Amino acid sequence: MKNVRAAVFAAWWLAVFAVPGGELSGVIERDVPVKMRDGVVLKADVHRPDTGGPFPVLVWLTPYGKHKMQFEKYVKAGYIVVCEDVRGRYASEGAWESWLRPRTHDAEDGYDTVQWASTLAGASGKVGTIGLSYGAFLQWRLAPLQPPALAAMSAHSIAARYTDLEGPGTMRPGRRLRWSIVTMSPDVRRHANRPGTQTEAEAAAAWDGGQGRKWLEFLPWLELPQEAFEDETPYMRDWLRQPQNDPWKLDAGCRLITVPNLDVVGWYDHAKGDMRLYQTLTKEGRTQAARKGSKLVVGPWSHFPPGGRRFGKIDFGPEADLDLAMLDVRWFDYWLKGKANGLDREAPVRIFVMGDNRWRDEESWPLKRARTRVLYLSGDGGANTPAGDGKLVDLRPGGEAGDDYTYDPRDPVPTLFAPGNFTCAMDQSPLSNRQDILVYQTGPLTRRIEVTGFPEVELFAATSAPDTDWVARLIDVAPDGLARDVCMGLVRARYRKGVEKPCLVKPGEPIKYTIRLGPTANAFLPGHRIRLDVTSSDFPNYDRNHNTAADQNADPGLAVAQQTIHHGKRYPSKVILPWVPDAAGVPTP
């Protein structure tokens, strides 16, 4: 399994960054010192063409080790690339300050690096920033300071708010713990000369060898030992005590940003954050270039967008492959080199419609032309498993019914993860025998139904516990039985009115919950079924609810809950789909 994961990552890396044939087209200056305004020296690798110039400069800031990066495609296209270890990571001086701290040097360090890069020998004076995930987060931190040399950003795959990235009132342990324990903490220990694992490779081997399960089963989170988060442990605990607080607020900085951004993200990316940053920048950006020039590209990917069209049995077709580096090059050719390449005449939004497996240009996100399509939950009380009697129907049922299941947090519904505990498109069939998943589905469709936007589920549900979770997952079921998840959402009962307004529930009382599912674009094709799964866990993608009234970040107690989903005339549980008519204007079914 370890070799498979390494092969998957290597294939993605080469697809994104390597030049065909592996040809070098430049030279690399290693560990170039970059002095910050407070005297701390950061280290950067400078990748540059070996002849010609002047060239624009692209800056990639990373906490993951600049020595792992390759930029031949960018250099070959006529760019100098500065890849810098951020403060306190790998070759750079200082102490690392995670994104959980209320105050860091990220913005000022980014500003200083951009301005320094603009003065490099052979530089044209114009700078763009690139990077995904944490590298995108750092761009959104520095851009509001408006460094004069900055002309454009390409920040991919990051949420606007930390509360969009994590779960309701707690962390998502599957990704967060692996990220900290395997990726971040070893280098913190190495910098501090502390005992313990000091390389990512060793930490990954330990995690995959069984330590990962130990960490994921640890309770309660507030008592995690320091080795999990090292110097960031106090900040993680502060946030777990006050999860309504957002240490990021990246969207608040959009009104100060003067440059456009190219945002590339995946429908299955845990860090997509509803594309709030794109929406905010295009409405509130400081300049017309920021508001009108920014673009959004959304594909059928996980957190690392390009590099593969297949996920197990799922194949999104040849159009799903994307060369991210060359997408960046075209973007920066327009903004940094002034090339008339037609970028300004293209639609601002490009989405991949799954099912059709085709790209489509749009003028906005979400789509303004989407209409409402309602499907009601129905059945005779036996919706457990896909073999049950749960249905999705067009007309509101006239009778009253309900479906029951038992949720035991000691045996939660397991997340079907990609390698590295990343969410991606997965066939949900391996979970088909679980009695704690209720399944509601249509019959085979007679015509195409496109769902693009933010589906919602209105659920009338009761529990025997003072608190619990409700998880809803929209699924596309193919004629051969493959059940591909489309999008999902979760609400924690005590936070049904918002994380800032916790309110326990009365056991046994039916309560209306609104579950906003993640954004998607999916065409359910003729012969396919639209399916909705309802359960109470998706662990360890989301922390399991303990079904108790206690602070679940501080108390390890677990209890079993009896759950009921009501549907019918009095309790019209339903899924509300953002339906997009086809070009012929076919009336809603």
Q: What pLDDT does 167 receive?
A: 86
Instruction: Identify which has the larger pLDDT, 305 or 239.
Output: 239
- Considering only CA atoms, which of 510, 505, 481 is closest in space to residue 495? 505
Q: What pLDDT does 520 receive?
A: 98
| Stretch 404-431: mean pLDDT | 95
- Do 487 and 424 touch, CB atoms closer than 8 A? no
Q: What pLDDT does 582 receive?
A: 81
Q: Using one digit for the tens of pLDDT, what is the confidence trace for 330-362?
A: 999 999 999 999 999 999 999 999 999 999 999
- Considering only CA atoms, which of 106, 116, 109, 99 is closest in space to residue 141? 106
| Stretch 145-152: mean pLDDT | 98
| Stretch 500-513: mean pLDDT | 97
Q: Using one digit for the tens of pLDDT, what is the confidence trace for 14-44?
A: 334 333 333 436 899 999 999 999 999 999 9
- Considering only CA atoms, which of 128, 160, 135 is closest in space to residue 261? 128
Q: What pLDDT does 11 receive?
A: 39
| Residue 260: pLDDT over 70 | yes
Q: What residues are labeled active site?
A: 133, 269, 303
Average pLDDT, the chain: 93
Q: What pLDDT does 31 receive?
A: 98
Q: What pLDDT does 83 receive?
A: 98
Q: What pLDDT does 418 receive?
A: 86
| Residue 258: pLDDT over 70 | yes
Q: Using one digit for the tens of pLDDT, what is the confidence trace for 296-336?
A: 999 999 987 555 688 889 999 999 988 999 999 999 999 99
Q: Give the domains, in start order, of the chain with CATH numbers.
A: 2-164+246-362 (3.40.50.1820), 171-241 (no CATH), 371-580 (2.60.120.260)
Q: What pLDDT does 304 receive?
A: 73
pLDDT-based confidence at residue 137 (cuts at 50, 70, 90): very high
For residue 372, the surrounding DSSP H or E stretch is strand 371-378
Alpha-carbon gap, residue 131 to 399, rounded angstroms:
54
Q: What pLDDT does 589 receive?
A: 34
Q: What pLDDT does 36 receive?
A: 98
| Residue 12: pLDDT over 70 | no
Q: What pLDDT does 3 receive?
A: 42
| Residue 507: pLDDT over 80 | yes
Q: Using the 8-state DSSP alphabet, how is residue 317 labeled?
A: -
Q: Using one digit for the tens of pLDDT, what is the confidence trace for 536-565?
A: 999 999 999 999 999 999 999 999 999 999
- Considering only CA atoms, which of 99, 83, 98 is closest in space to residue 42? 83
> Rounded to two decimals, what is the model's pTM?
0.93
451: tokens are 């769902």
390: tokens are 């749960």
Q: How many CB atoms lie within 10 A of CB 326?
A: 14
| Residue 587: pLDDT over 90 | no
Paired residues of 529 in beta bridges = 477
Alpha-carbon gap, residue 563 to 404, rounded angstroms:
6
| Stretch 48-65: mean pLDDT | 96
pLDDT-based confidence at residue 419 (cuts at 50, 70, 90): confident
Alpha-carbon gap, residue 239 to 237, rounded angstroms:
5
- Quote the distance between the C-alpha of residue 394 and its chain's center: 32
- Considering only CA atoms, which of 422, 530, 434, 433 is closest in space to residue 473? 530
pLDDT-based confidence at residue 583 (cuts at 50, 70, 90): low
Q: What pLDDT does 308 receive?
A: 65
DSSP-H helix ranges across 226-312? 226-229, 233-241, 276-284, 288-293
Q: What pLDDT does 7 receive?
A: 41
Alpha-carbon gap, residue 50 to 518, rounded angstroms:
46
pLDDT-based confidence at residue 105 (cuts at 50, 70, 90): very high
| Residue 61: pLDDT over 60 | yes
| Residue 252: pLDDT over 90 | yes
Q: What pLDDT does 393 receive?
A: 98
- Considering only CA atoms, which of 212, 190, 188 is closest in space to residue 98? 188
